Amino acid sequence: MAKKPQIAADTRPWRDPNAKPFVRIRDVTKKFGDVVAVSEVSLDIFKGELFCLLGGSGSGKSTLLRMLAGFEEPTAGAIEIDGQDMAGVPPYRRPINMMFQSYALFPHMTVWNNIAYGLKRDHLPRPEIEARVAELLKLVKLEGYERRKPNQLSGGQRQRVALARALARRPKLLLLDEPLGALDKKLREETQFELVKIQETLGVTFIVVTHDQEEAMSLATRIGVMNQGEIAMVGEPSEIYEFPNSRFVANFIGSANMVEGVVTEDEPDHVRIRSAELGADIYVDHGVDCSPEQILWWAIRPEKIRLTREKPAVQAGVPPDTNMTKGFVEDIAYLGDMTVYQVRLDNGRYMRVTKANALRGDPDAISWDETVWASWSGSSGSVLTS
Amino acid sequence: MGELVGLVRLGADLVSAMDLPAAAAAPERGPWPLLRRWLVRMGITGRWAVILPPALWLTVFLLIPVLVVFKISFSEAVVARPPYLPLLTFGEDGEVQLTLHLSNYMFLGQDTLYIAAYLNSIKIAFISTILALLVGYPIAYFIARSSDRWRNILLMLIILPFWSSFLLRVYAWIGFLKNNGVINNALQAVGLPQVTMLYTDFGVYVGIVYTYLPFMILPLYTTLVKLDDALLEASADLGARPFRTFLSVTLPLSLPGIIAGSMLVFIPAIGEYVIPTLLGSPSTLMIGRVLWDEFFANRDWPLAASVAIAMLVVVVVPLMLMQNAQNAVVERK
């Protein structure tokens, strides 16, 4: 559902070193008393992006959003939007609108008046306000609901009124705080799709705050993972998932098997890691920025591990007896589209392996209490030094 | 009447909640089940057990006294004890005669003193309510916006005056307002002329606003403290300056508090007796003082009773109108 990449330079300005960012966040810190909510965050966001700030509660993502909206002033650092420094600019003068987590619809106003509120503040002529509100109602598919009050709407309808109200002034930048958080799962998936469609149609830059990684993965052009007030990693969804830069990101996004190991060979074209936890040697088929004898971590996603009953043959380009380990299937969770295996390794550690159920009712599927070999290729895992 | 409906519903819920397990269980012993069975036989079920106490209270302490006053207002004053004639008289041959004197009410209409007193009471109560609203709103807003720690202390300060006698507090204002009182001494100390404040309408306004301010502040506070910060932020986010936000969001959403607070000030202010007596001029005509004079100075109980009944009507009508308005506001939400 994320934006389809068409021409790389056109849709991925963050890959172009000369591109001028639309939102520049420079070393922004926010303290509440002694508590540091946001710590020296620097971030560039480009025009037309759908940027997701992803993090757990207390990670500082909402505070960062509130600083962009102008509800909080940074303790240190600068925020620039479209080349203009936002220091001291009150919320009502910023070219930004926000969709609140609680929607914050005015309970005493009709849907029409809620959407028209910002337009009236801009002193637009009445016919223009009417035309724009009608257009927005059509966009969010709420025609005929003009005269309802917020309490006469369902959760999904309220969410769409909130979106229409936030879009009414045609902001250059729209901030969305947990936009789908209050909706049930089914509605959330539909709305995700609509949100992306609206964003593409209008070409507005979206910054979305969410704690739901699935939501972030499916919506975003890029994700900023936040942890304890800091940006842990910024990247496209696939980069974040496949190439996490730290143990935190690897664990936070999706699930990962993570082991500690020590570097035994450090060559420009490969690295060999001995891991007692895994009971095996790991051969990584590319160079890593590390030194011999260094202790580091290696993480692999459950779906990138193969399970076989027989000891796997030696892989091309990988030395024998590396990248494989023996275990015992202790538990199986059948999820329909895939099966999750809990494999107990010989040293007592557990490894999580998933297998897509490509074959219908596979009679030859690996079952409980079988002894199996787990193996992976030289490029499947991520070497993490922090 | 909204509350009563709520009570009835609550009562019905209690019945079903209490009776269902009891019906399945074997008959219990002990004083409480016995009492309950007796009550049920008397036709007093859970619903009535809930409604009865407040209904009894209102009947004994509100309805009956008002009916007594209503009755007296139709009789004739005499120099006797009690100082009025009974409505029912029994003739020698067993005839019963009911005499209703409407003259008291007619007299209220004929003597301009009463109409002037009513109108003046309404005027003073109305202006006092507006003043109390103007003074009370910022205070309530400030308390509602302050931090949790301060909020309780400030609320405490608002309620604190109730711990001392109302009469004493009004009396103390004489010391402030009189010609050589605290305020005038301060004015003269900085070379300003003396201002007569005591025994004027101004004094009455000061007294009423001072006395009834907490009744304005507390309901305003309860609506303002519930106001969601996100609504104010949303308004600012959509381009509204702070004052515009106040007019478009804060004020309409605090309307229930404004109505409740205004009622709590307006209604007692209309019948106020002590404040105009202590702080007003002898010519400050208010219905409470007229009532007092009729009752104690003239000992004309029937006329005093009709003044009271007429005042009740004057008070009850705006009360009902305002309550209706408030219900409409609440229902619209």
Query: pLDDT (tens digit, 9 = 90+) per residue, B98-144?
Result: 888 888 888 888 888 888 998 999 999 999 999 999 999 999 999 99
The reply to whether B57 and B166 lie within a common domain is: no
- Band (A215; pLDDT cuts 50, 70, 90): confident
- Chain B CB contacts of A108 under 8 Å are 252-253, 332-333
Residues B248 and B133 in one domain: yes
- Domain annotation covers residue B306: no
Domain identity same for B116 and B212: yes
CATH label of the domain that carries residue B155: 1.10.3720.10
Q: Which of B228, B240, B241 sits opposite A104 (nearest CB)?
A: B228
Query: What CA–CA distances, in Å, run from B114 to B106, B108, B189?
Result: 11, 6, 43
Q: Confirm whether B309 is domain-assigned.
A: no
Q: Which whole-number Å values give the CA distances from A253 to A65, A214, A226, A337, B41, in the listed order?
A: 21, 9, 11, 20, 68
ipTM comes to 0.83
* pLDDT score of A182 more than 70: yes
Pair B174, B263 in one domain: yes
Does B60 share its domain with B115? no
Enter the tokens of residue B87: 């409505």
> Does residue B19 contact residue B49 with C-beta atoms inside 8 Å?
no
Residue A376 DSSP code = -
pLDDT at B93: 81
* Calpha distance B175→B179 (Å, rounded): 9
Beta carbons of B249 and A106 less than 8 Å apart: yes
A118 part of contact set with chain B, CB < 8 Å: yes
**Do B56 and B164 fall into the same domain?**
no
- Which tokens is B321 given? 């109108």
pLDDT at B28: 64
Determine contact: A288 vs chain B, CB below 8 A: no
Long-range contacts of A327-336 (CB under 8 A, 24+ apart): A327/A351, A327/A371, A327/A372, A327/A373, A327/A374, A328/A369, A328/A370, A328/A371, A328/A372, A329/A366, A329/A367, A329/A368, A329/A369, A329/A370, A329/A371, A329/A372, A330/A368, A330/A369, A331/A368, A332/A367, A332/A368
Shortest Cα distance from B140 to chain A (angstroms)? Answer: 21
Chain B residues in contact with A92 (beta carbon < 8 A): 236-241
Residues in chain B: 333
Q: Has residue B275 been placed in a domain?
A: yes
Of A98, A102, A108, the CB nearest to B237: A98
- Chain A residue numbers with beta carbons less than 8 Å from the beta carbon of B234 are 98, 100, 104-106, 165
Which residues constitute the domain of residue B51? 2-64
Lowest-pLDDT range of A117-131, A169-183, B237-251: A169-183
pLDDT, position A11: 65
Among B46, B64, B82, the domain boundary falls at B64
A291 touches B: beta carbon within 8 Å = no
Residues B156 and B241 in one domain: yes
Q: Is residue B75 part of a domain?
A: no
Cβ pair B332:A108 closer than 8 A: yes
Q: Does residue B57 share a domain with residue B117? A: no
Q: Are residues B215 and B136 in the same domain?
A: yes
A163 to chain B: which residues are within 8 Å by CB?
none
Q: Do B41 and B149 sit in the same domain of this protein?
A: no
Report how far residue B284's alpha carbon sits from residue B274's, in angstroms, rounded to the nearest whole number: 12
Q: Closest Cα partner for A209 from A176, A242, A165?
A: A176
* Chain B touched by A326 (CB under 8 Å): no
pLDDT of residue B271: 86
Q: How confident is the model at residue A185 (pLDDT cuts 50, 70, 90)?
A: confident
> What b/e readout covers A32-43, taking b as 16+ CB neighbours within 10 angstroms?
eeeebbbbebeb
In a domain, B100, yes or no: no
Residue B276 domain flag: yes
Least-confidence region, from A3-17, A207-221, A345-359, B81-95: A3-17
d(CA B174, CA B122): 24
pLDDT per residue, tens digit, chain B (333 aa), is 333 333 334 444 444 444 444 444 556 677 788 887 787 787 777 777 788 889 999 999 999 999 999 999 998 888 878 888 888 888 888 888 888 888 888 888 888 888 899 899 999 999 999 999 999 999 999 999 999 899 999 999 999 988 999 999 999 999 999 988 899 999 999 988 888 889 999 999 999 999 999 999 999 999 999 999 999 999 999 999 999 999 999 999 999 899 899 989 998 898 899 999 999 988 888 888 888 988 888 888 999 999 989 888 877 776 788 778 777 766 655
Flag whether residue B258 sits within 8 Å of chain A, measured between CB atoms.
no
Q: How far apart are CA B140 and CA B143, in angstroms?
A: 5
User: What CA–CA distance (Å, rounded) separates A120 from B235?
Assistant: 11
Q: Could you read off the pLDDT of A43-72 as tens digits, one per residue?
A: 999 988 999 999 988 899 999 999 999 999
Best of B226, B227, B233, B238 to disrupt the A interface by mutation (most A CBs within 10 Å)?
Answer: B238
Residue B93 lies in a domain: no
* Structural contact between residues B307 and B294, judged by C-beta atoms closer than 8 angstroms: yes
Could you tell me if B164 and B35 lie in one domain?
Answer: no
More confident residue, B208 or A313: B208
Query: Which single residue is written with the structure tokens 């996603």?
Result: A301
For residue A151, give the nearest of B234, B249, B333 by CB distance: B333
Give the CA distances from residue B309 to residues B65, B67, B116, in Å, rounded to whole numbers and listed in that order: 11, 10, 17
Specify if B311 maps to a domain. no
A329 touching B (Cβ < 8 Å): no
CB contact under 8 A, B248 and A90: no
Is the domain of B42 the same as that of B125?
no
Q: How many domains does chain B have?
A: 2
CB B171, CB B208: distance < 8 Å: no
